[in-house]
Amino acid sequence: MVKEPKHCSFCGIEASAAVPMIAGTEGYICEACVMLASQVVSSWGKKKELADMQGPLPKPAEMKAMLDQYVIGQDLAKEILSVAVYNHYKRLKNVSRKAGGLGESDDSVEIGKSNILMIGPSGTGKTLLASTLAKIVGVPFAVADATTLTQAGYVGDDVENILVRLLDVADGQISRAEWGMVYIDEVDKIARSPEQAFGTRDVSGEGVQQALLRLVEGSQVKVSAKGRRKDHSGNDSVMIDTSNILFIAGGAFPGLEKHVEKRLLPPKTAIGFHAEVSNPDDKPTLEAMLNATQPDDLKRFGLIPEFIGRFPVLAPLEPLDVDALIQVLTEPKNALVKQYQHLFAFDEVELEFTQEALAEIAEKAIARNTGARGLRGIMEHVLRRTMFDLPSRPDVERCIVNAEVIRGEAEVEVVPREKSGEAEDLKRLSGGE
């Protein structure tokens, strides 16, 4: 009786000295199929983690509607960001879905990622937009300050520390961190200094831009995992693939409009009686110049071409006017007026702002040139004395803030609780008679 040769139950290859088999109760499996099965099982685990991390991806219009609940204005920037974030995570979801089977995908097109660069004055909502987007999509989010970064080997933060923070936010799960979002703030501060002498190292400017290139473009980066579980080899460092991490950079870029204006309106060189007289009214607004920003303007500002090329999506943010700041104070879910009204409500006191007071607060913030970021400081200064006295005064029912209070010409109007109580008693007595 001839013994039937052993065959792999999965791929059918015949056993030999070069192809050993692992025997089961009713079949065999070769080494290649074991390795392939291991990859499939690990991809299942990764897909399960990602499915737990994310629900259905909101459409761009839905993302913008959610952003409208937290950020006032900036419709153009919201539209640009919503499309970029949707395309990025739509790509990742489709790639991970195709990676779940045994066969290779027949799709030969590889879609690259498009990082985002936000340009706008301080206090216009750059950080809030990025953090709200991460909350909407449901991915880990980390904020890094470019001013603290230096080249490797110098005192300061290395660029790899950005990924350490992202890994911390993802609770040490590498697969979650590799789908995360990173916001790098104050990018304009690492621009190349024009008066930097040649031959010296610009360790906190151009050197940081060079160090960020590898991180941003997508590569395997080794980061420290101190305090976390070591890998199988006993190392306390892990490898993170940054090719699927969405990087959003932002900065105020003061003076960028001058470079845009030179490109849009070349200086007139004619002199004498025949020279054209320049009209200040013809000068474009700051908003128009930021919207017209081109990569060449960023290069003149001091960013290196390689760094600009890693951020193909430009999202300009417009300066906030008085009306927009009043909306910031009152309309968003986390509006400052609502926050302080809740704080006063804990002491059973109503807080009321007149429309003129809100306009005065907005004008003060514009005068300070701090945008929406300066609103809280103004309100803290105005309400500080009242918040100091209120816990000791249970007789107060309502506080009214008007424009004179904001200008410092009057105190916050306090309505005692007894007045309303006495009026109710009189009304009840007169009704009873």
Instruction: Tell me whether residue 427 is in a domain.
Output: yes
Amino acid at 420: S
The DSSP-derived string for 305-348 is HHHHHT--EEEE-PPP-HHHHHHHHHSSTT-HHHHHHHHHHTTT
Together in a domain, 424 and 287: no
pTM over 0.85: no
Going by pLDDT thresholds of 50, 70 and 90, the confidence category of residue 405 is: very high
Together in a domain, 242 and 363: no
Ligand-binding site membership of 124 (annotated): yes
Q: How many domains does the chain have?
A: 3
Q: What are phi and psi of 245, to 5 degrees?
A: -85, 130
The predicted pLDDT at position 357 comes to 95
The predicted pLDDT at position 105 comes to 45
Mean pLDDT, all residues of the chain: 81
The predicted pLDDT at position 270 comes to 53
* DSSP H helices in 346-432: 355-368, 375-389, 403-407, 417-432
Please list the residues that pair with 75 across neighbouring strands.
none
- Residue 348 sits at the vertex; the CA angle it makes with 343 and 349, to the nearest 5 degrees, is 75
Together in a domain, 372 and 310: no
Q: Is the pLDDT of residue 421 over 70?
A: no
End position of a domain, from candidates 53, 72, 89: 53
Together in a domain, 351 and 307: no
Together in a domain, 302 and 176: yes
Together in a domain, 29 and 168: no
First-to-last C-alpha distance (Å) of the chain: 119
Q: How far apart are CA 362 and CA 326, in angstroms?
A: 6
Together in a domain, 47 and 66: no
Q: Is the pLDDT of residue 215 over 70?
A: yes
Percent of the chain scoring above 90 in pLDDT: 34
CATH of the domain at 413: 1.10.8.60
Output 171 or 4, whichever has higher pLDDT: 171
Three-state DSSP class for 122?
Answer: coil
Going by pLDDT thresholds of 50, 70 and 90, the confidence category of residue 401 is: very high
Quick one: residue 218, left, alpha or beta (phi over 0 = left, psi -120 to 50 = alpha)? left
Instruction: Tell me whether residue 105 is in a domain.
Output: no
Region 84-94: mean pLDDT is 87
Give the tokens for residue 186. 């104050």
Q: What are the pLDDT digits (tens) for 216-261?
A: 988 888 887 655 545 444 567 888 989 889 999 999 998 888 888 8
Going by pLDDT thresholds of 50, 70 and 90, the confidence category of residue 350 is: very high
Going by pLDDT thresholds of 50, 70 and 90, the confidence category of residue 40 is: confident
Give the tokens for residue 325. 């700041």
Q: Is the pLDDT of residue 113 over 90?
A: no
Together in a domain, 127 and 240: yes
Together in a domain, 118 and 130: yes
Give the tokens for residue 87. 């395309």
Q: Is the pLDDT of residue 196 over 60?
A: no
The predicted pLDDT at position 51 comes to 56
Could you give the count of Cα atoms lying within 13 Å of 138 in the half-sphere of its Cβ? 10
Instruction: Tell me whether residue 107 is in a domain.
Output: no
Together in a domain, 3 and 75: no
Instruction: Tell me whether residue 275 is in a domain.
Output: no
The predicted pLDDT at position 182 comes to 93
Instruction: Tell me whether residue 417 is in a domain.
Output: yes
Together in a domain, 47 and 92: no
Instruction: Tell me whether residue 106 is in a domain.
Output: no
Together in a domain, 311 and 328: no
Quote the domain boundaries for residue 240. 59-100+112-193+201-226+235-267+281-319
Ligand-binding site membership of 93 (annotated): no
Region 367-381: mean pLDDT is 89
Ligand-binding site membership of 125 (annotated): yes
CATH of the domain at 291: 3.40.50.300
Q: Is the pLDDT of residue 426 over 60?
A: no
Q: How far apart are CA 207 and CA 265, in angstroms?
A: 33
Ligand-binding site membership of 8 (annotated): yes
Three-state DSSP class for 136?
Answer: helix
The predicted pLDDT at position 380 comes to 94
Ligand-binding site membership of 205 (annotated): no
Region 373-388: mean pLDDT is 92
Q: How far apart are CA 293 and CA 260, in angstroms?
A: 6
Q: Is the pLDDT of residue 388 over 70?
A: yes
Instruction: Tell me whether residue 259 is in a domain.
Output: yes
Lowest pLDDT segment from 155-169, 297-311, 359-373: 155-169
Short-list 192, 161, 155, 188, CA closest to 254: 188
Ligand-binding site membership of 399 (annotated): no
Q: What are the pLDDT digits (tens) for 9-36?
A: 888 888 888 888 888 888 888 988 998 8
Instruction: Tell me whether residue 39 is in a domain.
Output: yes
End position of a domain, from candidates 14, 33, 53: 53
Region 64-69: mean pLDDT is 92
The predicted pLDDT at position 49 comes to 56
Q: What are the pLDDT digits (tens) for 406-417?
A: 999 999 999 997
